[in-house]
């Protein structure tokens, strides 16, 4: 079945550091890809998405590019802030329109 | 625009009991799905409803059941609760279509003792 793999956390960075969270997927066909963020005590919020190969999703300084050849959708941000501390989930939506989530990567940004 | 709302926010039940969780979809959304998120893990798909019919189900036993109402709100029912059912239960709504993202509520934290 479909699956999503993310780099293990926690990831701890200093403010203004560069962030990369790796995500790779296994799926039949060409799924849509998403990054969600979860702040403490809250549900998941959509961060960005890409629906086809080579699409780049971006939002709030975060970006990720749909790479079909490497089945990857790595999340990047050039300069993280303390307010970016959260858990980040990579996810795909398959042809059955069901979402499959990765295990999440916890990010802590220190001032 | 009203977002996805879930009730209650927290719940404590005893093993063997039954529980009902409720969800109101975001306005304009016609599809609702439920996810179980165990501590420290990603959400796991339970099932999805569209037009009041279940149209997708994950690897959960039949004691997990649901309903969708004509106003697109939804319920998740769990019978014969087990300790491992303790988790955050997330409801998400969306529009039918492969590119439509999920919009999540803040979840119901269920503790089974």
Q: In this predicted structure, what is the pLDDT of residue A42?
A: 84
pLDDT above 80 for A70: yes
Tell me whether residues B56 and A98 touch, CB distance under 8 A. yes
| Number of A–B residue contacts, CB under 8 Å | 63
Tell me whether residues B102 and A102 touch, CB distance under 8 A. no
Say how far apart CA A42 and CA A71 lie, in whole Å.
29
Q: In this predicted structure, what is the pLDDT of residue B98?
A: 58
Range with the lowest mean pLDDT among A3-17, A40-54, B90-104? Answer: B90-104
Q: For the beta carbon of residue A28, count every other beta carbon within 10 angstroms.
A: 10
Tell me whether residues B101 and A44 touch, CB distance under 8 A. no
Q: In this predicted structure, what is the pLDDT of residue A61?
A: 97
**A41 in contact with chain B, both atoms CB, cutoff 8 A:** yes
- Measure CB to CB from residue A101 to each of B40, B43, B56 and give the nearest one: B43
**pLDDT tens digits, residue range B16-42?**
999 999 999 988 888 999 999 999 899
- Contact status, residue B70 vs residue B53, Cβ threshold 8 Å: no
Both tokens of A20, joined, read: 């990369």
pLDDT above 70 for B1: no
pLDDT above 80 for A40: yes
Q: In this predicted structure, what is the pLDDT of residue B2?
A: 72
Q: In this predicted structure, what is the pLDDT of residue A9?
A: 85
- Contact status, residue A17 vs residue A82, Cβ threshold 8 Å: no
- Spell out which residues of chain A touch residue B56, defining contact as CB-CB under 8 Å: 96-98
Q: In this predicted structure, what is the pLDDT of residue A13?
A: 97
- In B45-104, the residues whose Cβ lies within 8 Å of chain A are 45, 48, 56, 58, 90, 92, 96-99, 101-104
Say how far apart CA A24 and CA A90 lie, in whole Å.
9
Cβ-in-10-Å burial (0-12, 13-18, 19+) of A58 comes to middle
Regarding predicted confidence, which is higher, A5 or A43? A5
**B4 in contact with chain A, both atoms CB, cutoff 8 A:** yes
Tell me whether residues A99 and B106 touch, CB distance under 8 A. no
Tell me whether residues A44 and B48 touch, CB distance under 8 A. no
Peptide bond into A10 cis (omega under 30): yes
Tell me whether residues A97 and B96 touch, CB distance under 8 A. yes
**pLDDT tens digits, residue range B48-103?**
999 899 988 999 999 999 999 998 899 999 999 999 999 999 999 988 765 678 89
């Amino acid at each position: 079945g479909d699956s999503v793999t993310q780099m293990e956390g926690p990831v701890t960075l200093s403010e203004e550091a560069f962030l990369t969270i790796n995500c790779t997927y296994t799926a039949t066909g060409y799924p849509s890809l998403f990054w969600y963020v979860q702040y403490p005590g809250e549900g998941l919020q959509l961060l960005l998405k890409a629906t086809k190969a080579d699409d780049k999703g971006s939002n709030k300084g975060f970006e990720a590019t749909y790479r079909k050849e490497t089945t990857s959708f790595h999340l990047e941000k050039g300069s993280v802030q303390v307010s970016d501390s959260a858990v980040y989930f990579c996810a795909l939506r398959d042809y059955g329109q069901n979402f499959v989530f990765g295990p999440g990567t916890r990010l802590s940004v220190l001032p | 625009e009203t977002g996805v709302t879930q009730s209650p926010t927290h719940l404590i039940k005893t093993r063997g009991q039954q529980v009902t969780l409720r969800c109101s979809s975001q306005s304009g959304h016609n599809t609702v799905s439920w996810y179980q998120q165990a501590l420290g893990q990603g959400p796991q798909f339970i099932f999805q409803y569209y037009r009041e019919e279940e149209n997708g189900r994950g690897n959960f036993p039949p004691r997990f059941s649901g309903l969708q109402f004509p106003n697109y709100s939804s319920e998740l029912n769990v019978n014969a609760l087990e300790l491992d059912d303790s988790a955050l239960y997330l409801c998400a709504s969306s529009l039918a279509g492969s590119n439509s993202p999920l919009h999540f509520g803040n979840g119901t934290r269920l503790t089974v003792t």
